[in-house]
Each structure stands twice: as structure tokens, then as C-alpha cells.
Chains A and B, each alone.
Chain A
Amino acid sequence: MRHPILFFCLTLCMSPALNAQLATPRFEDGTVNLGAMRGETGHWNTGVGNLSENFVEMDGAYLINPEEIDKVAPFRPWAKKIVQERLESLGRDDPHPRCMPNGGPRQFHTPWGMEIVHDRGQDRILIMSGGANRSWREIWMDGRAHPDLDDYTATFFGHSVGHWEGDTLLVDTVGFNERFWFARRPSGMPHTVQLHLMEKISRPDHDTLHYEVTIDDPGAYTRPWTASWDVPWSEFHMTEYFCQDNNVDLEHIVGPQ
């Protein structure tokens, strides 16, 4: 080994992989626990993963080769045009730095973490964001149906119902508003109020959350499409963070000059 220090560092950086043998935590009844176990500190270390149907090389939230945009999703023409404009303007108009909630798949890759809490008393699962405006979402596990969307006020996180199929949590969500960009990577992915999400959330081992989402939005995409990524576990406590605290950047977010 010509660079033992580098090797040591890389090995340590990959230490979550060394923990991959740790078993998926479960409740006494055998149900998978998607959160921290009793007395355990930790959270899901979001900030990774691309919402893309196929692999595209990216620099952060931006495509290395903009010509690959059609690999990301089956856009309708208007949707492709708007995501290209948002990418070209370098994310200048993203609602996120205005501290708006990050609904849909964006919650699973917005930095500063996410906790999943099984609220068994209320028969629901809460997904709580550590970053952005520290908002949270609820998934009803009590068998209820979605409300009549004609009477439902569309929201940032929509209306979610879930159930278990084996060790995988299946979540069905409708009722989104259009006041957020529903992905961080790539930046600027559009959606409409017709957005219907079908998510599969599993924990193949203690340190890995596997997230798969199928996007069915005939307003923005020509057919349903699917993306997935793994979110690693962090043993840090999910420290308090509010985007609103000292958000002095806004006046300086000007985009290309």
C-alpha cells in the first residue's frame, strides 16, 4: 500500500459498510423499526440520492451533460422546458431556501437528516425532517382511505396512507400542492396537483434505509416512472436546525449574472 494513511481514511469513511451485518431492528411483534431503537441515538443521514429514472452523471444538483435530461424522467414538453430553465438559472428560484417545506421524495434527500417515528398509539408513522424548516409528515396506518380530493386542500406533504407488505412499508400519497420543487437532485423537477406517489420504504440492515418511489403525475410526465436510493444511518443526534433562523442569503441568490 503506497498510501497507508489514505487507505486508513478511506476505510474509516466506509465504516457504515463494515456495520452492514447489523440486523434490521424490529419491534417485539416482529415489525421492522424504521427509526431508532429504545435508548438509541441516531437518524437517517439524508443529503444523498438522485431522483432519476436512469443513471446520469451529476455535479451536485446539476447534470454534467444537460443533453441527458431525457434519461431523468419521461417529461411532458412543458415540464422538460421548465426543469431546463431551472437548471440553467442554477436553482435561483427554488422555494427551499425560502424555507418552504420539502414534500414528496425531496424529504428523503434534503440534508440534515430525517427521523422515522412509529406512533403506534395513533396508528401512524411520522417522518420528521431535521433540515430545511424542520417540518414533518404523517402516514396513516389505520386503514383509512384518502379523502375526496375535490374537498381536500392540497398540502406540501399530501395525504399518505400506508401498510406493510412483509418487511416493506408501502405508502400511497395524493393531495400535493405545487408550491415546492419535489426533488433536490436534480434541481427544479416539476410536478402538478395530479401527483400520486407510491413509495416503498425498507430497512435491509440497521444502517441502510432503502427508498423507492414511483411518480405517477400525468400532468407533468407521460407515464409513471421510478427512482430509488439508499439513505445511510448516522449515530449523531438530529440537532435542531431551522432554516428560518438567520436566513440572510436570500437577497444574494441571484443566479447567473
Chain B
Amino acid sequence: MHALVRTFLLFAATALCPLTVSSHHSFPAQYDADKPITLSGYLIKLEWRNPHVYFYLEVETEDDWEEWAFEMGSPIAMERNGWNKNSVEVGDILEVSGSLARDGSNLVNASSVVLADSGRRLFAGSSQDEQTSR
């Protein structure tokens, strides 16, 4: 097969097919897939580092604000699918869905991240997706 065609096919497969990413720890040992949660808040910090991308939101409660942490896949998976550390900025409003941490802390394994202003879906993939990781 011509190298250019082959390269295109591999690129297209990567770009269009469902993202698979890998967690370096057991997903079910840390998160409960039976406890889904959706939160919206202001981005206050992004850690584009291994083994997982983490970001932090200020989330408004009835009478206060509280900080929540969100775990994603590795930066490797994100970057191979076109995202990078500049895809979001501090102050952006994000709507995030995912699974709650088992230990009761303000920690979520994010499976869906949507930029509120544009409706653009970011980081389409969590560290839960790749079954090999579990």
C-alpha cells in the first residue's frame, strides 16, 4: 500500500474512531461507575501531566463555592486526538459528567467535558474508556 495512503488511513482511523486511553491505575478501585455526576464550574487549574490530566473547577453551591478535581486520560491520548494544554483557559466554564470517587472526596473521573460558551466537547475520553486499563 502506498505510504501516503497508509498514513492517511491511520490518521483518519485515529481521528474518527472512538478514543481509547489508558489509566495507570484500576478504575473501579478509585471510582464508582454506578455513581454518575454532572457538575458545572469555572476552570481554576489545569495539570497537563502524566499519568493523568487533572483539572479543577470552582463549583457554586447553594450558599458557597467548592473546589472539585477531575481526572482524565494521559496527555498522550489527548494530544494524539488533537487536544493540548491550550484547549481550555483558566476562567472557562466547563460542564463535566463522570463517575464519583469511591472515597467520598470531591473527585470525579470525567467522561464528558463541554465548554459552556460554545458547546464544544473537549477531551472526548476518560481513563475509564480503555478496558485494558481496568
Could you count the A-B residue pairs with CB atoms below 8 Å apart for me: how many are there?
A: 128
The segment from A9-17, A24-32, A193-201 that touches chain B is: A9-17
Cross-chain contact A242 with B50 (CB below 8 angstroms): yes
B: number of interface residues (CB 8 Å) = 40
B4 at the A/B interface (Cβ < 8 Å)? no
B51 contact from A18, A109, A243, A255, Cβ within 8 A:
A243
Cross-chain contact B52 with A111 (CB below 8 angstroms): no
Cross-chain contact B134 with A60 (CB below 8 angstroms): yes
A78 at the A/B interface (Cβ < 8 Å)? no
Residues in A whose Cβ lies below 8 Å from that of B12? 12, 15
Please measure, in the bound complex, the distance between the C-alpha atom of A64 and the C-alpha atom of B76, giving whole angstroms.
29
Please measure, in the bound complex, the distance between the C-alpha atom of A89 and the C-alpha atom of B26, giving whole angstroms.
10
B67 at the A/B interface (Cβ < 8 Å)? no
Cross-chain contact B9 with A18 (CB below 8 angstroms): yes
Q: Which of B16-55 contact A (CB under 8 A)?
A: 16-17, 20, 22, 24-30, 32, 47, 49-52, 54
Residues in A whose Cβ lies below 8 Å from that of B47? 246
Q: Within the complex, what minimum Cβ distance (angstroms) separates A185 from chain B?
A: 7
A120 at the A/B interface (Cβ < 8 Å)? no
Q: Within the complex, what minimum Cβ distance (angstroms) separates B20 from chain A?
A: 8
A: number of interface residues (CB 8 Å) = 49
Cross-chain contact B50 with A243 (CB below 8 angstroms): yes
Binding site for B on A (CB under 8 A): 8-9, 12-13, 15-16, 18-19, 21-22, 47-48, 59-62, 89-92, 94, 96-97, 109, 111-112, 131-132, 184-185, 187, 235-236, 239, 241-243, 245-249, 251-257
Binding site for A on B (CB under 8 A): 1, 6-7, 9-10, 12-13, 16-17, 20, 22, 24-30, 32, 47, 49-52, 54, 71, 74, 76, 79-80, 101-103, 105, 107, 130-134
Contacts A61-B26, A243-B50, A248-B54 given; 4 further ones with Cβ under 8 A? A12-B17, A94-B25, A96-B25, A111-B130
